[in-house]
């Protein structure tokens, strides 16, 4: 065999070996990647934070405590510790959390340049390093975490999942276990015993709002005949939603409604249909910074009870006690149309719309509308009490009841009719209770936690008086009541003077014609 032929064979062999080695390496990584992707256990429950969202997430979380892990992605020990941390995080974080709303488990990558200053502020001296404390204490924290119990503390014994959870149990006086399953929570509170728990429902109202719009988009329910009712409901949310985040998100949807929800958005021949759906799917009406799935006030003792339906009722009640007299009939028709067009439970929406249809005269007072909604809710509960009793589907810890209970509002009760077991209500007292319960108390948690650092009071006041400059114009345009109030006009003029974007102003004016 000639020398040239030998050289050719050796070259081909060398090339084949190189490609084979390269392919083998790439292939093994692909296989591992595929295995990891298919593994249902591989899931990050801990919330990734960085310098841009650190304060906001910890400020707005409903959790009573937070754990922050400072790590570096290149650190082998950190990679080995991650499965331990995730075992604990899955108990408290995410939509399937076993013990939601108690502890927020987070992590910060100090190897990322954006987090250099943040990690310096906490004097991170090794990886991984864990800190514990009330979420508000992490916001704008000083550079030297102390061992004082009320401040941010270093977790000194959390090297394994068992040790970390044991350390947490000592701090909280709890008995959490790594094998705890959802809804087996001995710490589940009953709203029957503590009227102040409604303050925690502000997070459930956010959850219900987000879920409602996910359902609307998922089922493609925005049609030519339902667009107007959705716009009106958004106007109601912009002005009176108890959550500042949801008011802001609703305003963004409202302003950009024509772009986000074009008339032919679901048509089969629309070329950009997928782009529109993607834009809507990525939009979070109440923000995306805080993990969802807490259902704190509205959490049932069983997996299929309370939750979304409870949160939606709380939202409707909170709106009813925030409106002014001139908005009462608009709010009534808006809620009725929204439930009729967008609530996916057929029997529920039919019953609700039947109650709406039985109203023969317009509501002129906000008091009358709030009391009608309260009465309608009690009628629903009366019906469900009987149905759930016969079928055995009631939540044992949260049975349906006539509201409010006597221990919550003794003055609401005049007497009980012994003949038909009916209740004679003092409706003035009931309205005062509803205003306090679904109004001031519902947002008091923000004020108590001081969620804006030193400026917490201002932000709490912002939540207590939601109808501010930036949202009066669209609602006023829809209701056509601006001419009835000089003060309203002055606010609208001031609001207009603050606008820097002509397009934004143009969209607001165009809402009159939607």
Find out whether 479 and 453 touch, Cβ atoms under 8 Å. no
One domain, residues 163 and 221: no
One domain, residues 381 and 233: yes
Q: Does a structural domain hold residue 105? A: yes
One domain, residues 68 and 156: yes
| E strands in 72-192 | 103-109, 129-133, 153-154
One domain, residues 218 and 151: no
> Looking at 438, 463, 485, which one is the last position of a domain?
438
Question: What separation in angstroms does the CA of 241 have from each of 206, 323, 424, 458, 471?
Answer: 9, 10, 31, 17, 11
Q: Does a structural domain hold residue 212? A: yes
One domain, residues 210 and 77: no
Question: What separation in angstroms does the CA of 146 have from each of 105, 122, 153?
Answer: 20, 10, 6
Q: What is the CATH number of the domain that holds 129?
A: 3.40.30.10
| Per-residue pLDDT tens digits of the chain, which is 514 residues long | 555 555 444 444 444 434 344 433 333 333 223 333 334 344 689 999 999 989 988 888 878 899 999 999 999 899 999 999 999 999 988 777 888 778 999 999 999 999 999 999 999 989 999 999 998 889 866 545 554 445 889 998 899 999 999 999 999 888 889 988 764 434 444 444 456 677 778 888 988 998 898 888 877 888 888 889 999 999 999 999 998 889 999 998 888 888 777 776 655 555 455 555 555 656 778 876 655 666 778 877 776 778 888 999 999 999 999 999 999 999 999 999 999 999 888 888 889 989 999 998 999 999 999 999 999 999 999 998 888 888 888 888 888 889 898 888 899 998 755 444 578 999 999 999 999 999 988 876 554 443 333 333 334 334 433 333 333 333 343 333 333 334 434 444 444 444 434 443 444 344 434 3
SS3 of 370-405: the string is HHHHHHHHHHHHHHHHHHHHHHCCCCCCCCCCCCCC
Q: Does a structural domain hold residue 376? A: yes
Domain count across the chain:
2
> Looking at 157, 172, 187, which one is the last position of a domain?
172
One domain, residues 229 and 364: yes
Q: What is the CATH number of the domain that holds 242?
A: 1.20.120.310
Phi-psi region of 124 (alpha: psi -120 to 50; beta: other; left: phi over 0): beta
One domain, residues 164 and 98: yes
Within a 10 A sphere around the Cβ of 218, how many other Cβ atoms? 10
Termini Cα distance of the chain: 86
Cα 300–chain centre separation = 17
Q: Does a structural domain hold residue 403? A: yes
> Can you give the residue range of the structural domain that contains 382?
197-262+276-438
Q: Does a structural domain hold residue 91? A: yes
Active-site positions read 75, 78
One domain, residues 290 and 385: yes
Three-point CA angle 425, 428, 430, nearest 5°: 60
One domain, residues 232 and 380: yes
Three-class DSSP category at 197: helix
Q: Does a structural domain hold residue 145? A: yes
One domain, residues 201 and 307: yes
Q: Any residues with CB less than 8 A from the CB of 509 and at least 6 apart, and which? A: 477
The token pair at 71 is: 């790590």
Distance CA 78, CA 416 (A): 64
Q: Does a structural domain hold residue 395? A: yes
One domain, residues 283 and 425: yes
One domain, residues 349 and 424: yes
Q: Does a structural domain hold residue 302? A: yes
């Amino acid at each position: 065999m000639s020398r040239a032929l030998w050289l050719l064979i050796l070259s081909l062999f060398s090339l084949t070996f190189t490609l084979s080695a390269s392919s083998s390496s790439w292939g093994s990584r692909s296989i591992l990647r595929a295995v990891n992707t298919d593994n249902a256990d591989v899931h990050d429950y801990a919330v990734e934070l960085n310098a841009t969202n650190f304060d906001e997430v910890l400020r707005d979380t409903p959790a009573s405590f937070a754990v922050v892990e400072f790590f570096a992605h290149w650190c082998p020990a950190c990679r080995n510790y991650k499965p331990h941390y995730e075992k604990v995080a899955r108990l408290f974080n995410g939509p399937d959390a076993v013990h939601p709303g108690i502890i927020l488990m987070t992590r910060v990558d100090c190897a990322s340049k954006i987090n250099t200053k943040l990690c310096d502020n906490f004097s991170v001296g090794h990886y991984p390093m864990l800190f514990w404390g009330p979420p508000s204490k992490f916001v704008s924290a000083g550079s030297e975490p102390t061992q004082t119990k009320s401040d941010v503390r270093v977790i000194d014994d959390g090297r394994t999942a068992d040790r970390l959870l044991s350390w947490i149990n000592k701090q909280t006086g709890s008995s959490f276990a790594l094998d705890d399953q959802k809804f087996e929570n001995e710490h589940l509170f009953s709203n029957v015993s503590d009227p102040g728990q409604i303050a925690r429902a502000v997070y459930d109202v956010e959850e219900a709002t987000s879920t409602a719009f996910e359902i609307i988009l998922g089922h493609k329910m925005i049609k030519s005949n339902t667009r107007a009712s959705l716009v009106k409901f958004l106007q109601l949310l912009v002005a009176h939603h108890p959550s500042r985040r949801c008011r802001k998100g609703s305003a963004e949807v409202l302003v950009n409604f024509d772009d986000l929800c074009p008339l032919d958005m679901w048509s089969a021949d629309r070329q950009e249909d997928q782009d529109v759906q993607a834009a809507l799917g990525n939009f979070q009406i109440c923000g995306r910074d805080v993990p969802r799935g807490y259902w704190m006030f509205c959490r049932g003792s069983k997996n299929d009870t309370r939750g979304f339906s409870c949160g939606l009722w709380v939202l409707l009640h909170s709106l009813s006690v925030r409106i002014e007299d001139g908005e009462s009939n608009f709010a009534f028709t808006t809620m009725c149309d929204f439930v009729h067009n967008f609530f996916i439970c057929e029997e529920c929406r039919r019953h609700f719309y039947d109650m709406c249809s039985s109203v023969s005269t317009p509501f002129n007072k906000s008091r009358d509308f709030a009391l009608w909604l309260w009465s309608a809710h009690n009628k629903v509960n009366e019906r469900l009490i009987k149905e759930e009793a016969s079928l055995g589907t009631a939540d044992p810890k949260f049975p349906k009841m006539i509201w409010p209970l006597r221990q919550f509002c003794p003055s609401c009760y005049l007497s009980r009719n012994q003949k038909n077991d009916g209740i004679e209500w003092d409706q003035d007292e009931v309205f005062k209770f509803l205003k306090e319960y679904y109004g001031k108390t519902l947002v008091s948690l923000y004020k108590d936690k001081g969620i804006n650092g030193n400026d917490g009071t201002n932000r709490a006041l912002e939540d207590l008086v939601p109808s501010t400059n930036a949202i009066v114009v669209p609602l006023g345009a829809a209701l056509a009541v601006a001419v009835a109030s000089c003060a309203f006009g002055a606010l609208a003029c001031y609001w207009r003077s603050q606008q820097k974007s002509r397009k934004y102003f143009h969209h607001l004016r165009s809402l009159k014609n939607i």
